[in-house]
């Protein structure tokens, strides 16, 4: 595990208000009115083997609560690619987190393969997601999940948190193995899924 002096948690005044304002504008994109709690972040990241994690992708980083913790823990030579569709969050993240290991991309998780190639990578060791799969149209959800599985390196994992279990059957069908946890100390209480290929 490595800390980096360039990395500072996304605690700029108003980040919670920014998140809440965007929730009211785009509730189907966010799923929750407030950012993830420290309890959720700790449980979500608990399966990560930081000694081997060289390439990490995050879908929907929002105001960067999980992003900042990943940067705090990951190797000095690792790369974190944060893919965010909301331009307000993209601008905020680029200003709040100046770590040289972070790349903030405005785009869709559906393009994860192209985005990885843009940075000279073929696969990721871990992909982290809080995007609300239950509100995403089924064909798009299917494409994102299948591309996610294809982009995971051998032994890699997809770490997901959701506020319902609606995506669980899709995760089981596509990945094969899905470990589960529940984190009540969050607004809203969250379901956590740890997904790997059944062949692993």
pLDDT at 172 over 70: yes
Residue 130 has pLDDT above 80, yes or no: yes
**CATH at 70:** 3.40.50.150
Note whether 127 and 160 are within 8 A (CB): no
Which pLDDT score is estimated for 11? 41
C-alpha angle 35-39-42 in degrees, rounded to nearest 5: 100
Is 9 within the bounds of a domain? no
pLDDT class of 188 with cuts at 50, 70, 90: confident
Q: Which tops the pLDDT comparison, 3 or 91?
A: 91
- CA–CA distance, 11 with 166 (Å, rounded to integer): 32
Predicted confidence at residue 15, as pLDDT, reads: 53
* Cβ neighbours around 45 below 10 Å, total: 18
- Residue numbers of the domain that contains 74: 15-197
Q: 195 with 178: CB under 8 angstroms?
A: yes
Residue 7 lies in a domain: no
pLDDT at 199: 58
Report if residue 2 sits inside a domain: no
Cα–chain center distance at 14: 22
Other Cβ atoms within 10 Å of 73 Cβ, number:
17
For residues 79 and 198, the model is more confident at: 79
Say if residue 181's pLDDT is above 90.
Answer: yes
* Residue 139 placed within a domain: yes
Token pair 């994992």 is found at 157
The reply to whether 5 falls in a domain is no
Q: How many domains does the chain have?
A: 1
Query: Region 20-40: what's the mean pLDDT?
Result: 56
Lowest mean pLDDT among 3-7, 15-19, 83-87: 3-7
Two structure tokens written together for 176: 């094969």
DSSP for 150-164 reads HHEEEEEEEEEEESS
**Is 38 inside a domain boundary?**
yes
Q: What is the mean pLDDT of residues 80-88?
A: 95
Query: What's the rounded mean pLDDT across residues 116-137?
Result: 96
| All residues at 6 or more sequence positions from 42 whose CB lies less than 8 Å from its CB, including other chains | none
**pTM value > 0.85:** no
Mean pLDDT, the chain, integer: 86
Alpha helix stretches (DSSP H) within the chain: 15-25, 27-30, 38-45, 65-73, 87-96, 112-118, 138-151, 168-175
Average pLDDT over residues 52-76: 96
The answer, yes or no, to whether residue 91 has pLDDT greater than 60, is yes
33 pLDDT higher than 90? no
């Amino acid at each position: 595990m490595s800390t980096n002096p360039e990395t500072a948690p996304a605690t700029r005044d108003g980040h919670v208000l920014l998140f809440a304002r965007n929730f009211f504008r785009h509730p189907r994109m966010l799923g929750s009115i407030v950012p993830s709690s420290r309890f959720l972040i700790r449980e979500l990241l608990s399966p990560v083997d930081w000694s081997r994690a060289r390439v990490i992708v995050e879908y929907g980083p929002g105001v960067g609560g999980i992003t900042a913790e990943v940067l705090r823990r990951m190797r000095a030579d690792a790369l974190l690619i944060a893919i965010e569709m909301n331009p307000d969050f993209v601008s905020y993240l680029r200003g709040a987190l100046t770590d040289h290991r972070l790349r903030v991309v405005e785009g869709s998780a559906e393009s994860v393969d192209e985005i990885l190639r843009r940075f000279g990578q073929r696969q990721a060791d871990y992909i982290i997601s809080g995007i609300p799969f239950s509100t995403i149209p089924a064909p798009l959800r299917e494409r994102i999940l299948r591309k996610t599985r294809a982009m995971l390196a051998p032994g890699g994992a997809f770490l997901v948190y959701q506020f319902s279990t609606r995506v669980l059957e899709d995760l089981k069908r596509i990945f094969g193995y899905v470990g589960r946890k529940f984190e009540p100390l969050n607004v809203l209480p969250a379901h956590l899924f740890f997904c790997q290929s059944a062949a692993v």
